[in-house]
Amino acid sequence: MYLNKSHPRCFGRFLNNESGNFSILLGVVISALLLTTGATVDYIDGTNAQQRLQNFADRALIDAVASSEDDRSELKKRIRLSLAEDIPTAEVDVQFFGPDNKNVRVSAKYQKDLLIMGAFGFEPIDVTALAEAVIPTDGFKLNLALALDTTLSMADFGRIDDLKIAATELVDTVSRSAVNPGDVKVSMVPFSEYVRIDESNRGASWLEIQPEIPLSYTVLDEDKSVNCVSSSGENSATVCQVSVYKTITEPTRWEGCMGSRKDGAHLYPEYGGKLLQGTSHSSNCHGGYNAMMPLTENFPKIKDAIDSLETIGNTYIPAGIMWAWRTLDYRLPFDEAKFSNQQETRNVLLLMTDGTNSVTLNGERADFNGIYHWNNLTADRIEDDKIEANKITLEICDSIKHAGIEIITIPHEVNDSDTLDILKSCASSESFFIPTFSGDELKEAFRNVGTNLAVKARLTR
């Protein structure tokens, strides 16, 4: 067969021509992809901007109508000033209508530049929000229990400081929604592996305290041990190359620490003739643990308690939600809720945690009629503890919701899939499960919860 010697060169030129065509085609495809991606990014950004503006409008309106201010021009001024702080460029229109001008309509609009498509010559978009409410003549009623994780891991990355800011703002928001005294009450339950109640409860008919006796126990003598290394955080431990121990005998005293009841009584909140169990020794809990506060309308006191929170201990979520439930229950050990009209009052439990259950219902002593929340240090038992505690968490959550209490869960920087699944199941609805992964997101979540709790009682649109 005869081959033209020029064939390779011709073929090469053909390839070069095809390559040029391919480059053009590739450029078109890439441009299309960039435009599509840009449009998607701008759509998401625009949607988020609209939601933010709606939240700002809702909050401005709810704060104004809940302020007890009756002067319409003053209400209009408050709404505009509030929105100007959040979106300085927003155009705000406030109208009053309906019987006695009790209905308020707020419309807000501003122009937002497109992040990507703006570079391609597309014009800014209009971001709008509309909110309506009725100026209340009677206050709505809310009992809110805050179950707040204050374990050692909350000290990492400033989490506890972010929580203090978020929880304080939430209390401010819901408290401003109260028109009449007693309309809104808040309780706070800081938790780790135990919950600590006020020592003034000593002598209560529903409480049994473990005998306060001198106790001897063996501890590591780090001064005499050799090459010791200590770990920090939850399940911390000290390991030494050569360990030396010493025996210490100390008096014990009940300082408000509470264990759990036996025989299934750890699953329901009320006293019901089954004494709640205070532990005076053999647990990690002591007077340095944060004390809980029952329902109160003394909001400055609640905020002071939030501001003084310290991080300590390991994670046992059932303790937190059980004692938070007790503050919302009208039966002993706490009865603050009994003064609320149960049919008219909205009862909400907010659970915030950054951790995974690391202890469980575990540990007994002859002089203690309850159960401790001891942890196990071996790897296989730690996983067993988690599984068992997760099961208890779900059981309690289901009972709380069955009692007509709404649950909002806010996992903060939680990566454990099992824990996230449990917290999602605990929440009363999908929208009540709010994972956060930064301090700003945590504050925004609490802010939206506060607004929405008030919004549902006030907004009509």
DSSP character string of 53-83: HHHHHHHHHHHHHTTT---HHHHHHHHHHHH
Indicate whether 298 and 404 sit together in one domain: yes
Q: Is residue 24 part of a domain?
A: no
Q: How far apart are CA 42 and CA 117, in angstroms?
A: 7
pLDDT of residue 428: 93
Q: Which residues contact 135 (CB under 8 A, 6 or more apart)?
A: 65, 75, 102, 103, 104
Give the highest mean pLDDT range of 1-5, 49-53, 62-66, 287-291.
Answer: 287-291
Q: Is residue 16 part of a domain?
A: no
Tell me how far CA of residue 290 lies from CA of 188, 230, 312, 327, in angstroms.
10, 24, 8, 16
Last residue of a domain, one of 86, 101, 135: 135
Residue 404 lies in domain: 141-211+255-458
- Does the pLDDT at position 16 exceed 60? no
Tell me how far CA of residue 24 lies from CA of 13, 20, 33, 351, in angstroms.
17, 6, 14, 56
Indicate whether 339 and 434 sit together in one domain: yes
DSSP 412: B
DSSP H/E element including 98 = none
pLDDT of residue 15: 45
Token pair for 314: 């390991």
Confidence class for position 427, pLDDT limits 50, 70, 90: very high
Of 343, 352, 327, the residue nearest 439 (C-alpha): 352
Count the domains in the chain. 3
Lowest mean pLDDT among 12-16, 297-301, 375-379: 12-16
Indicate whether 127 and 162 sit together in one domain: no
Q: Is residue 13 part of a domain?
A: no
Q: Is residue 33 part of a domain?
A: no
Question: Mean pLDDT in the chain?
Answer: 87
Indicate whether 184 and 283 sit together in one domain: yes
Helices 299-307 & 159-176 angle (0-180, nearest 10): 170
- Does the pLDDT at position 69 exceed 50? yes
Q: Is residue 14 part of a domain?
A: no
pLDDT of residue 285: 94
Of 453, 441, 443, the residue nearest 408 (C-alpha): 453
Last residue of a domain, one of 112, 135, 158: 135
Indicate whether 179 and 51 sit together in one domain: no
Indicate whether 92 and 234 sit together in one domain: no
Q: Is residue 200 part of a domain?
A: yes
Backbone angles phi, psi at 202, to 5 degrees: -55, 135
The CATH number assigned to the domain holding 168 equals: 3.40.50.410
Q: How far apart are CA 411 and CA 461, in angstroms?
A: 29
**Over residues 316-331, mean pLDDT:** 97
Indicate whether 147 and 268 sit together in one domain: yes
Confidence class for position 196, pLDDT limits 50, 70, 90: very high
Using one digit for the tens of pLDDT, what is the confidence trace for 252-266? 999 999 999 999 999
Indicate whether 200 and 158 sit together in one domain: yes
**Over residues 32-43, mean pLDDT:** 75
pLDDT of residue 18: 53
Indicate whether 200 and 345 sit together in one domain: yes
pLDDT of residue 93: 94
Last residue of a domain, one of 103, 135, 167: 135
Q: Is residue 39 part of a domain?
A: no
Indicate whether 102 and 195 sit together in one domain: no
Lowest mean pLDDT among 38-42, 217-221, 302-306, 324-328: 38-42
Q: How far apart are CA 80 and CA 44, in angstroms?
A: 27
Token pair for 75: 């209400």
DSSP 124: P
Name the region of 158 (left: φ>0; alpha: ψ -120 to 50; beta: rest). left
Indicate whether 167 and 302 sit together in one domain: yes
Q: How far apart are CA 366 and CA 353, in angstroms?
A: 33
- Does the pLDDT at position 385 exceed 80? yes
Q: Which residues contact 245 (CB under 8 A, 6 or more apart)?
A: 218, 219, 220, 221
pLDDT of residue 343: 64
Q: Is residue 30 part of a domain?
A: no
Indicate whether 383 and 273 sit together in one domain: yes
**Over residues 190-215, mean pLDDT:** 96
